[in-house]
A and B are shown apart, each in its own frame.
Chain A
Amino acid sequence: MPEIKVTPLGAGQDVGRSCILVSIAGKNVMLDCGMHMGYNDDRRFPDFSYITQNGRLTDFLDCVIISHFHLDHCGALPYFSEMVGYDGPIYMTHPTKAICPILLEDYRKITVDKKGETNFFTSQMIKDCMKKVVAVHLHQTVQVDEELEIKAYYAGHVLGAAMFQIKVGCESVVYTGDYNMTPDRHLGAAWIDKCRPDLLISESTYATTIRDSKRCRERDFLKKVHETVERGGKVLIPVFALGRAQELCILLETFWERMNLKAPIYFSTGLTEKANHYYKLFITWTNQKIRKTFVQRNMFEFKHIKAFDRAFADNPGPMVVFATPGMLHAGQSLQIFRKWAGNEKNMVIMPGYCVQGTVGHKILSGQRKLEMEGRQILEVKMQVEYMSFSAHADAKGIMQLIRQAEPRNVLLVHGEAKKMEFLKQKIEQEFHVNCYMPANGETTTIFTNPSIPVDISLGLLKRETAMGLLPDVKKPKLMHGTLIMKDNSFRLVSPEQALKELGLAEHQLRFTCRVHIQDPRKEHETVLRVYNHLKGVLKDYSVQHLPDGSITVESILIQATAHSEDQGTKVLLVSWTYQDEELGSYLTSLLKKGLPQSTT
């Protein structure tokens, strides 16, 4: 049976190292190539040696697809393409292609320059890697080669995030990457058509969560910021330049406008301008509302949010600052944090996940005394809050997506198998599809049922329709023919034509059976008796009595002769061709039962 094989190469249940290998109809595709931010050694990259031990990756893989620019989905790409070695095509959307290298370079700088790592990719490698990238548009069918095609769908989540459909012939797989089924302030919700793929691969990190209403979450956030600012404190919000930051900016801007607040809001420079530049450039990737108002007023040109200068951190009075990077592990946000940590009027709000080892993670776990460089102890008196604004699909979202796409099978990655049993049952019950949850390194095989198109010759078609009973359009009709497979085409022709094409002579197969009947009368009387009997029984068939004394039932021949030794026994010769096997056997058994005592 044809099959699709899926092997996740990513790390455990952590957020990170997304990398999935898919084998479909002889093509091999790698989905995402992410890095794990929590490790500093080889564990941060997926184990590529699993793919092929000695062959070249370029020969084995037909293409690599990247879903979006988050480092846990593209962070290992330069390592993979330049250090491990891959020269084939890499597909991603236009915004992803534009933004990826920036984030990769940024991360490289921190890892190599600040942390002093040696075995890491270089700036040149990033550039060389991006040269292999082919950018795609939404809903554009891209032919990777003659048989493999891919198509991107809008996924929400972050700018440029896409879900990809991979299709070979009539088998297809849809990979969602990270997606969001509810629209937010600057991005729309994921959408896919009823493409009915054989397999849908979905992230399930948040599948066991039921999210609180977004309004409550936002209101909570705004309340905290407002309270801090009202009492003269400073609010630090560490963010990654691209992603949730824009969402929070729009939220604060709207709030400031509504409440007529005067405290300044700053967005740290560096990646800021580039970020806003890209949002403006890829405005079609944002949501409806932003696009509509773009003509009058660009949502990303903020009235209340200004560019930050390092010196401002020392200004007295309340302020809100968005600073990068997001986990307080280095850079400007860490600098500002150190300045403000000692004052309890201040607040730091972590808007997302923090990897272990970072300052962000430490303060979230409750640590209030941190050891900085040079053995300095920093006492944290400022308030620490954690508001998760990440845009991921929860269980309800996954169900919604499955309802939209109507896959035949579902595969969930990045969830803990024990905790997913209920969701698996829910999916199986509601949609009557199989649901798989492979562990990393484990291969799941999905059997597909592709339909193979076959050309039928006109002659055969005409013959079948001439054969009688009009076919019921809903029922499959059985027909006999010969299947010729030549090169890559399939043809269904009549047997005679097939023989002709092959230059073979047609052979006829004929069966003959002798039935003994006790009948002392003359041969021709026996024949008459048989004829009448058969005519009475086989009303739907054409039974004929020929002048030469034989009987035909359709194309089956029956002749009667006297037994050589016993005049009272007649021998009926029943002869039929291979095609009439069924009728022939039936006739024979009928005659063997004997003739009725008739009054002929």
Chain B
Amino acid sequence: VCVAGYGQSGGNEILQLLPPPTLQAKETQGLCPERDFKVECGGFSNRPVYSLKYVPDTSLLVTTGPPDSSLQVWQVSAEDSDVIKPVSAIPTESVPGQPWARIATISARAPWVLHGSRLNSVQITEVESRKNVYMAGIQTKSNDGFLESWELVLCCAKGQLCLADVRQPQSPLEAVSVPSAPCGERWCMGVGRGPQGSDSSSQPIACLSSGGHLTLTDVRKTSESLASAKCRVPSPSSAAEFLCVSWAPALESCLAVSGFDGTVHVYDVQSWDSSGREAEPIFVHKGHAFGGSDSSGGPPFVTVHAWHPQKPRTLLSAASDGSLHIWDWVQACG
């Protein structure tokens, strides 16, 4: 598990933590002695870290954050030291006022990172050589994801989804769907894995708006949504920075939503239709709300969440008061 701070005043830490052995996927022999996290390695970042991703199959990390949209590349876990060292920075053309970049990583032919803060500045860069592999064209802010090796999908803040093919660099991105929800809301998305055994092109995409609207789309037919619902949010959140929606890797049709307040909601989408009515979460994690106040004095809100890759109902969530929770829920029987 890798965590990083996003304080404005510099001196933010990036820590790679080893969760207690009870939470690791493999079957443990003997006993798991501790409930403690071990700090495997750590590093320091001058800028606040707003987004952090591992580059698969390498020991590299990529982070982004204000003040500009460049990326920092870090080397984790060298043999002889436990320091996360900065390796290089991938610069981008910085236009003043351009917000920080969103990133996604993949190791296809080589470790790549997809990044950009606006649609017109979306690029794929090879992490190690910092060579640009792909560039694209249009406007507005984005939130990206790799679908599989060649295609990428972007979700813009206004809610449009754009698809592109990496093999055709330089082609303009076309918006393939527009959400049917009130404007003024900001959107983010999560890409799920297709059902086991089927071909990988039927991946569902979930889009979440700051007003609590959730739209599910199939990547092959992006013009119409598969289903939509509304989740119960306390009040439409204006701080859409921390909106996060993600699919469970080990469960069918489950997704988690966070970023509105100090809770994480888990939904089962099998029963959803296109009516857009309010959906009941199958579980709400409220732990962070009891944590006391964060640095700005208000109640803590969840900044990000992630699913455990192997354990079925286990999630990790972090909040603005610096807490990290690993939790699961029990299905009520009967």
B13 at the interface (CB under 8 A from A): yes
- Which of B29, B80, B82 is in CB contact (< 8 Å) with A422? B82
**A418 contacts B39, C-beta separation under 8 Å:** no
Contact B37 A364 (CB under 8 A): no
Does A429 lie within 8 Å of B44, measured CB to CB? yes
A365 within 8 A of B: yes
Question: Is there contact, CB below 8 Å, between B33 and A395?
Answer: no
Number of interface residues, chain B, beta carbon within 8 A: 25
Interface string of A410-431 (1 = CB under 8 A from B): 0000000011111101100110
- Quick one: which of B20, B34, B35, B83 contacts A421, CB cutoff 8 A? B83
- Interface hits, A184-207 → B, CB 8 Å: none
Query: How far is A418 from B30 in the complex, measured between Cα atoms in Å?
Result: 27
Cβ of B323 to closest chain A Cβ, rounded Å: 9
Answer whether residue A217 sits at the interface, using C-beta atoms and an 8 A cutoff: yes
Residue from B17, B33, B35 within 8 A of A364 (CB atoms): B33
Please give, as numbers and ranges, the residues of chain B lying within 8 Å of A423 by CB-CB distance: 42
Task: Say yes or no: A364 contacts B44, CB within 8 Å.
Answer: no
Residue of B nearest to A362 (CB): B30
Known: A210-B17, A364-B30, A366-B30. A418 touches B80 (CB 8 A): yes
B82 adjacent to A386 (CB under 8 Å): no
B31 contacts A385, CB within 8 Å?
A: yes
A387 to chain B, nearest CB (A): 8
Q: B74-98: which residues lie under 8 A (CB-CB) from chain A?
A: 80-84
Contact status B36-A212, CB under 8 Å: yes
B36–A210 CB distance below 8 A: yes
A181 CB → nearest B CB, Å: 15
| A122 within 8 Å of B (CB atoms) | no
The yes or no answer to A216 lying at the interface (CB within 8 A) is: yes
Q: Least Cβ distance of A385 to chain B in Å?
A: 7
- Other-chain contact of B37, A209, A387, A429 (Cβ < 8 Å): A209
CB proximity of A403 to chain B, nearest CB, Å: 15
Judging by beta carbons under 8 Å apart, are B44 and A425 in contact? yes
B34–A426 CB distance below 8 A = no
Q: How large is the interface on A (under 10, 10 to 19, 20 to 34, 35 or more residues)?
A: 20 to 34
A208-232 CB contact bits vs B (8 Å, 1 = yes)? 1111100011001000000000000
Q: Is A11 an interface residue (CB 8 A)?
A: no
Q: How far is the CB of A236 from chain B (nearest CB, A)?
A: 15
Does B41 count as interface, using CB distance less than 8 angstroms? Answer: yes
B13 to chain A: closest residue by CB: A426
The answer to whether the Cβ of B184 comes within 8 Å of any Cβ in the partner chain is no
Instruction: Tell me the smallest distance from the CB of B33 to a CB of chain A, in Å.
Output: 5
**CB-defined contacts of A385 to chain B, threshold 8 Å:** 31
CB <8 Å contact, B38 and A386: no
Contact of B36 among A211, A367, A421 (CB under 8 A): A211
Report A301 CB to chain B, min CB distance, Å: 31
Interface residues of B in 15-38 (CB under 8 A from A): 17, 20, 29-38
Give 1 or 0 for each of A17-54: 1 = CB within 8 Å of chain B CB. Answer: 00000000000000000000000000000000000000
B281 interfacial by beta-carbon distance below 8 Å = no
Given A208-B38, A209-B38: A422 touches B43 (CB 8 Å cut-off): yes
Assuming A366-B29, A426-B13, is B81 touching A217 (CB within 8 A)? no
Contact B31 A209 (CB under 8 A): no
Which residues on B sit within 8 Å (CB–CB) of A208? 38-40, 82
Chain B residues, CB < 8 A from A209? 34, 36-39
**Given that A209-B38, A210-B36, A210-B39 are contacting pairs, would A419 and B82 also be in contact in the complex, using a CB cutoff of 8 Å?**
yes
A384 CB-CB contact with B under 8 Å: yes
Q: How far is the CA of A399 from the CA of B4 in the complex (A)?
A: 19
Q: Which residues of chain A have C-beta atoms less than 8 A from B42's C-beta?
A: 422-423, 426
Contacts of A426 in B (CB 8 A): 13, 42, 44
Which chain B residues lie closer than 8 Å to A395 at the CB level?
39
The answer for the CA separation of A385 and B83 in the assembled complex, in Å, is 33
Chain B neighbourhood of A211, CB < 8 A: 36
Which residues of A sit under 8 angstroms from B38, Cβ to Cβ? Answer: 208-210
A335 at the binding interface (Cβ < 8 Å): no
Cβ of B31 and Cβ of A366 under 8 Å apart? yes
Contact with B along A382-413 (1 / 0, CB 8 A): 00111110000011000000000000000000
CB contact list, B269-288 vs A, under 8 A: none
Please name all residues of chain B whose beta carbon is closer than 8 Å to the beta carbon of A210 when the two chains form the complex: 17, 36-39
Asked whether, in the complex, the Cβ of A421 is within 8 Å of the Cβ of B81, the reply is: yes
Let me know if B56 is at the binding interface, CB within 8 A.
no
Closest B-chain residue to A354, C-beta based? B33
Taking a contact as CB atoms under 8 Å apart, the answer to whether B83 and A212 are in contact is: no
Decide: A384 near B41, CB < 8 A? Known: A418-B82, A421-B82, A426-B13.
no
| A-B contacts, 20 listed (Cβ < 8 Å) | A208-B39, A208-B40, A209-B37, A209-B38, A210-B37, A210-B38, A217-B35, A365-B30, A365-B31, A384-B31, A388-B34, A395-B39, A421-B81, A421-B82, A422-B83, A422-B84, A425-B83, A426-B44, A429-B44, A430-B11
Give A contacts to B, CB under 8 Å: 208-212, 216-217, 220, 364-367, 384-388, 394-395, 418-423, 425-426, 429-430
Please list the 10 inter-chain residue pairs (A to B) with the smallest Cβ-Cβ separation, ordered nearest first. Answer: A366-B30, A422-B42, A212-B35, A210-B37, A365-B30, A209-B36, A208-B39, A421-B81, A386-B33, A386-B31
Given contacts A208-B38, A210-B38, A388-B33, list 5 more A-B pairs with CB under 8 A: A209-B36, A209-B39, A210-B36, A387-B35, A421-B82
